[in-house]
């Protein structure tokens, strides 16, 4: 842009006489105005071009000339255009976009996880959301059996409720595993987008360094900024400006993705059954998970949220299966038999380790008479062992807590995590909106005055602070009052 | 009727906070100023109201805790954004000052020998 029209401040021509000089000055000014007008026209023509940054003409004063001892100004020359960009602001916007994209991706994954564990009171079909009530029903069935330990239908009820619970737990684990696979596939897909953008940024770097090493490169820089903005939404990055208007891009942990004209490809591969990400031969999976962008959010869900949910389910399955099986093998069934290590009489498939217990949870007992309701040596009509199994509901058999307390705690922790990420995401998106409006005022092609936006931001902050302070006072007072009322 | 009266006295805190968060995200200063006035009025009503009304508000306050957290986070982000933008403005103003001095002519930092 702006090839630079120049009006003759030329001493030789000016020496030809005052009229000639004045004419030259005027025609030069017209040339410069024409050139500036073409910059404005270009701005208007690009009003709807995404990422286009407004350009303003640069003016340079020509050297004055002296004629007969009097100094005359020689007008101005339009020397080109400068884009109204602010790299610091763009960098801040990119950073906020990284955070917002990460929390959006994580929130989407978390919402899917939470949906699995949301009770569906209107449905009669078994679902993961019913696991809490399944646990209660299962232990209640032993309480019923306790009242009539030889009753076959009550024994069938125990097996039936055990099957519903085991089915819901294993289905939930299977759903979590398939969500995990889908997220891993999605994350792998992001790498090709990242590579395409880093390649483009490296190419643009080369062009910018060649054509405009010491000045703003206009549309080339707009394109580079567009690519950086998109890259920020995919992965957490840092940018470092280099010599000759070049740029290096690293992951937030410092792994180089673009070094001026060279890009480094990101790849994904399976390590011990899990999807890992590499730059060169370096495994950057953990760093990417905490780095931001869509990939960061997806990897946080993949490496943290879903494994946490699976571990909790595994603990529920392991605790209940091992405790119930142990008691069943310690009592006497309706046929007068007692289980042993060599020939166990288990209700559930016996897990050996916690990991994988939920996915493998199933009921292996088919004959209800095998339920050992009686204590050893007290006859088949005894109910002591059924009582003991019913009492497991009140014992700390799942990671130091009762089964229902542990499960409730897991579900409420999951809910709190979703709520926290939701709050983060709302705030980060708000921050992006604010910065975009500020950036548009500076670099967008519109008539907004930068100072007006600045003032609007300051007044909004002041007014919002007042709202916050007053509401904080009211809410604190109201909550204290609530506590006092409750105590009273 | 009673419910309407109570509602008129106490606008729902959650709705108020959601509206404030939206207005702050959009930098809608005039809406925020209106909301600040509403909060002032709410504060007066709260101080003058009977125990029953206050207890109702305490229930609303508990339900609004998440929205309050979101609003606080947006306020925090706005403060950070404002900080960045203020620093940028200072920087630019500094550049303008530098330009003005330059327009008045350079003061040589070296003497004629160039060996300072």
- Give the model's confidence band at B105: pLDDT under 50 very low, under 70 low, under 90 confident, else very high: very low
3 state SS of A59: strand
Q: What pLDDT is recorded for position B52?
A: 74
Q: What pLDDT is recorded for position A355?
A: 94
- Cβ atoms of A198 and A257 closer than 8 Å: yes
Is there a contact between A433 and B17 if contact means CB atoms under 8 Å apart? Answer: no
Q: Where are the domains of chain A?
A: 3-84+444-480, 92-430
**What are the Cα distances from residue A101, in Å, to A293, A316, A468?**
5, 33, 27
The interface residues of chain B toward chain A in range 17-36, judged by CB-CB distance below 8 A, are: 17, 20-21, 23-29, 32-33, 35-36
Mean pLDDT on B60-83 = 86
Record the pTM.
0.70
Is there a contact between A474 and B17 if contact means CB atoms under 8 Å apart? Answer: no
**In terms of residues, how long is chain B?**
116
Is there a contact between B79 and A461 if contact means CB atoms under 8 Å apart? Answer: yes
Is there a contact between A430 and B24 if contact means CB atoms under 8 Å apart? Answer: yes
Digit-by-digit pLDDT tens for chain A (488 residues) are 334 444 344 444 444 445 555 545 555 555 555 555 555 556 555 655 665 565 655 556 666 666 666 665 555 565 555 555 566 777 788 888 899 999 999 999 999 999 999 876 555 555 667 899 999 999 999 999 999 999 999 999 999 999 999 999 999 999 999 999 999 999 989 999 999 999 999 999 898 888 877 766 677 888 888 899 899 999 999 888 877 778 889 988 888 999 888 999 999 988 888 889 999 888 998 889 888 899 999 999 998 999 999 999 999 999 999 999 999 999 999 999 999 989 999 999 999 999 999 999 999 999 999 999 999 889 888 999 999 999 999 999 999 999 999 999 999 999 999 999 998 899 999 888 888 877 666 554 444 455 666 777 788 888 888 888 888 888 887 777 644 333 32
Task: Looking at the complex, report in whole angstroms how far the Cα of residue B109 sits from the nearest Cα belonging to chain A.
Answer: 24
> What is the Cα–Cα distance from B31 to A270, expressed in whole angstroms?
52
* Residues 6+ positions from A347 with CB-CB distance below 8 Å: A158, A159, A162, A324, A325, A328, A363, A364, A365, A370, A371
> What is the Cα–Cα distance from A471 to B19, expressed in whole angstroms?
13
* B98 inside 8 A of chain A by CB: no
User: Which chain B positions have a beta carbon within 8 Å of A431's beta carbon?
Assistant: 74, 77-78, 80-81
3 state SS of A119: coil
Task: Looking at the complex, report in whole angstroms how far the Cα of residue A149 sits from the nearest Cα belonging to chain B.
Answer: 47
Is there a contact between A419 and B59 if contact means CB atoms under 8 Å apart? Answer: no
Instruction: Tell me the ipTM for this assembly.
Output: 0.70
Is there a contact between A478 and B46 if contact means CB atoms under 8 Å apart? Answer: yes
Task: Looking at the complex, report in whole angstroms how far the Cα of residue A430 sits from the nearest Cα belonging to chain B.
Answer: 4
Backbone angles phi, psi at A349, to 5 degrees: -60, 130
Give which of A305, A326, A313, A312 is closest to A165, Cα–Cα. A313
Q: What pLDDT is recorded for position A71?
A: 64
């Amino acid at each position: 842009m702006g090839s630079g029209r120049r009006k003759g401040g030329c001493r030789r021509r000016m020496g030809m006489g005052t009229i000639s000089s004045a004419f030259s000055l005027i025609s030069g000014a017209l040339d410069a105005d024409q050139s500036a007008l073409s910059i404005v026209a270009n701005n208007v023509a690009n009003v709807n071009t995404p990422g286009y940054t407004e350009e303003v003409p640069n003016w340079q004063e020509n050297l004055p000339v002296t004629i007969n001892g009097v100094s005359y100004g020689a007008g101005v020359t339009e020397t080109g255009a400068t884009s109204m960009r602010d790299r610091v602001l763009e960098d801040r916007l990119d950073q906020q976009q990284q955070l917002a994209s990460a929390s959006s991706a994580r929130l989407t994954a978390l919402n899917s996880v939470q949906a699995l564990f949301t009770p569906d009171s209107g449905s009669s079909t078994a679902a993961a959301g019913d696991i809490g009530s399944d646990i209660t029903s299962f232990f209640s069935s032993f309480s019923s059996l306790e009242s009539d330990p030889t009753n076959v239908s009550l024994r069938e009820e125990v097996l039936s409720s055990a099957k519903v619970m085991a089915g819901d737990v294993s289905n939930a684990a299977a759903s979590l595993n398939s969500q995990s696979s889908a997220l891993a596939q999605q994350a792998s897909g992001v790498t090709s987008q990242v590579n395409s953008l880093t390649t483009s940024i490296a190419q643009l770097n080369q062009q910018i360094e060649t054509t405009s090493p010491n000045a703003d490169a206009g549309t080339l820089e707009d394109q580079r900024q567009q690519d950086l903005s998109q890259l920020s939404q995919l992965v957490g990055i840092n940018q470092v400006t280099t010599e000759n208007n070049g740029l290096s891009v690293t992951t937030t942990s410092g792994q180089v993705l673009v070094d001026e004209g060279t890009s480094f490809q990101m790849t994904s591969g399976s390590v011990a059954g899990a999807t890992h990400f590499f730059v060169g031969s370096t495994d950057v999976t953990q760093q990417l998970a905490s780095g931001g962008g869509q990939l960061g959010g997806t990897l946080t869900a993949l490496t943290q949220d879903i494994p946490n949910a699976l571990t909790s389910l595994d603990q529920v399955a392991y605790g209940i299966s091992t405790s119930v099986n142990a008691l069943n093998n310690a009592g006497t069934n309706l046929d007068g038999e007692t289980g042993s290590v060599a020939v166990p009489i288990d209700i559930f498939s016996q897990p050996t380790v916690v990991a994988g217990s939920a996915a493998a949870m199933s009921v292996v007992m088919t004959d209800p008479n095998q339920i050992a309701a009686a204590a050893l040596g007290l006859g088949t009509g005894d109910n002591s062992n059924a009582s003991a199994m019913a009492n497991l509901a009140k014992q700390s058999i799942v990671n130091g807590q009762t089964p229902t307390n542990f499960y409730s705690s897991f579900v409420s922790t999951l809910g709190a995590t979703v709520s926290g990420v939701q709050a983060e995401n709302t705030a980060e998106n708000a921050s992006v909106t604010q910065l975009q409006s500020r950036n548009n005022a500076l670099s967008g092609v519109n008539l907004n005055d930068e100072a007006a936006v600045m003032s609007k931001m300051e007044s909004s902050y002041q007014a919002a602070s007042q709202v916050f302070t007053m509401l904080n006072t009211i809410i604190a007072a109201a909550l204290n009052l609530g506590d006092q009322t409750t105590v009273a | 009727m009673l419910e309407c009266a109570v509602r008129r006295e106490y606008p729902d805190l959650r709705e108020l906070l959601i509206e404030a968060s939206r207005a702050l995200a959009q930098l809608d200063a005039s809406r925020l100023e209106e909301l600040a006035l509403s909060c002032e009025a709410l504060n007066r009503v709260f101080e003058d109201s009977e125990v029953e009304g206050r207890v109702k508000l305490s229930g609303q306050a508990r339900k609004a805790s998440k929205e309050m957290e979101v609003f606080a986070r947006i306020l925090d982000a706005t403060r950070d954004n404002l900080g960045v933008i203020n620093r940028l403005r200072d920087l630019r103003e500094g550049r303008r000052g530098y330009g003005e001095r330059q327009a008045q002519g350079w003061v040589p930092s070296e003497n004629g020998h160039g060996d300072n």
